[in-house]
Structure 1
């Protein structure tokens, strides 16, 4: 009797593991930008977090009033830095980005809109933290769409099942990024590659880091992921890649910027 139960349990576990593997592989395929499958909407369950205070609030634009009374959250981890939760935007935000291609690291991924979750800490404070897409690239709610003349913020996971930005560290100034949005293609040229310390650093530095995902008042694409993927310092840094439209004055001279830097 016991032997039969163990056999049934083993068969169930094999079926479960096999089904999970098939689902993961399907989601990876569906997240690719070169097919018409629906993009997986799954978000990462546990991600590093950073909670920033209300010290900087971008001015609203006619396109999309930024949610009031909070600082846009970013990926990271923090223990003593909090900010009030976001309020509802006055007008609905519509992301028009469908796909991103980064030839240098063989990324061809669908893009889905991501927002934030409200978490309540033990002391009762509420903080807003960005969602991170598990398989696809996430377009930060409230950041610009291509062609709108502002900061297009796209984040991806370095680990997990999707690992869409696992090789973002290898992107260099001069590399190209193609963003598909509203039926058009937008070409950008990488200008900066930064590795920013996020944990155990002064508040001023963390606030400075957060400005990379704030409005820029000029057309730019900002890619964000955690770093490193493994080791004792796992997810304690952020990789920031900033690109400008091809043909702009700034983007025609990539040699004028450092290949990458660590702050």
Structure 2
């Protein structure tokens, strides 16, 4: 009978070690979840603050007290090609609600560009040009500028503001595609190599939220250009229903 005692003792020790390891793993898992949640929340806090400061600086730079308000729209201007990483505009999406702030429009779609705001795909049309103005934004983290992209409805305005004024587009169709279906940002969306005849805009974001498995794509068509001297367009001064 005495020969069973070491085995029983070993079993108790092994069971104790297993219990401790299990508790440590559970604790580690909880800490990782808390850290991940904190990290996701903190990137939003920092990005919201920095993007708001960038937007305010742009508005101050564009303000001209000598401008005399004018009525009506104006011919669509040609914009200068921005440098990589340059903030050259603001993106307004009224459908995203009164608490959503205009986001800086940055030339490029690198990690750093998308942390700074909404990225403009290099080589695609500039606001107001014939072709496809393709822009990308996060749906979560770093201010999640396109978090509500799936809420857009046909006819909703998407407004790109630059030093010259406001380029008003209106949402048309949406779709979900694979990440490799880059033809959605072609000059004629879905038709690589085709010659564009329309002024379009395409918004892209990861889908579903929190993954990069697919892309949510929202297309829009150009409506009109409103010069800065005319004041902000009605789409930005009226409440979206």
TM-score by length of 1: 0.50
Q: Which structure's residues are more often helix, by fraction? A: 2
Describe the superposition over 1:131-176 as per-residue Cα deviations: whole angstroms up to 9, x where unpaired: 7512410111111111221111110011223211111111121111
SS at match of 1:169: helix
Q: Is 1:35 aligned to residue 56 of structure 2?
A: yes
Q: Is 1:105 aligned to residue 99 of structure 2?
A: no
Q: 2:124 — aligned with what?
A: 143
Contact 2:87-2:105 within 8 A present in 1 as well: no
Task: Give distance in 2, aligned partners of 1:110 and 1:96.
Answer: 6
Once the 2 structures are TM-superposed, how far is the Cα of residue 34 of structure 1 from its aligned partner?
5.1
Matched residues, number:
155
Describe the superposition over 1:220-249 as per-residue Cα deviations: whole angstroms up to 9, x where unpaired: 11000001124xxx32111101100126xx
Would the alpha carbon gap of residues 151 and 96 (structure 1) be closer, same or farther in structure 2, given more than 3 Å must change? farther
Structure 2: any 5+ residue segments left out of the alignment?
1-37, 60-79, 189-195, 225-241
Would the alpha carbon gap of residues 96 and 143 (structure 1) be closer, same or farther in structure 2, given more than 3 Å must change? farther
Contact 1:226-1:238 within 8 A present in 2 as well: yes
Q: Is 1:175 aligned to residue 151 of structure 2?
A: no
Contact 1:95-1:145 within 8 A present in 2 as well: no
Would the alpha carbon gap of residues 215 and 131 (structure 1) be closer, same or farther in structure 2, given more than 3 Å must change? farther
Q: 1:246 — aligned with what?
A: 223
Out of 208, 211, 222, the residue aligned to residue 228 of structure 1 is: 208
Once the 2 structures are TM-superposed, how far is the Cα of residue 29 of structure 1 from its aligned partner?
2.2
Once the 2 structures are TM-superposed, how far is the Cα of residue 97 of structure 1 from its aligned partner?
3.9
Would the alpha carbon gap of residues 195 and 22 (structure 1) be closer, same or farther in structure 2, given more than 3 Å must change? closer
Map 1:107-256 to 2 at 5 A.
107=100, 108-115=102-109, 133-198=114-179, 206=180, 209-216=181-188, 217=196, 218-230=198-210, 234-246=211-223
Contact 1:153-1:222 within 8 A present in 2 as well: yes
Once the 2 structures are TM-superposed, how far is the Cα of residue 183 of structure 1 from its aligned partner?
2.1
Q: How large is the RMSD of aligned CA atoms in angstroms?
A: 3.5
Describe the superposition over 1:31-56 as per-residue Cα deviations: whole angstroms up to 9, x where unpaired: 13752279xxxxxxxxxxxxxxxxxx
Once the 2 structures are TM-superposed, how far is the Cα of residue 22 of structure 1 from its aligned partner?
8.2
Task: Give distance in 2, aligned partners of 1:163 and 1:137.
Answer: 9
Higher-Rg structure is: 2
TM-score by length of 2: 0.54
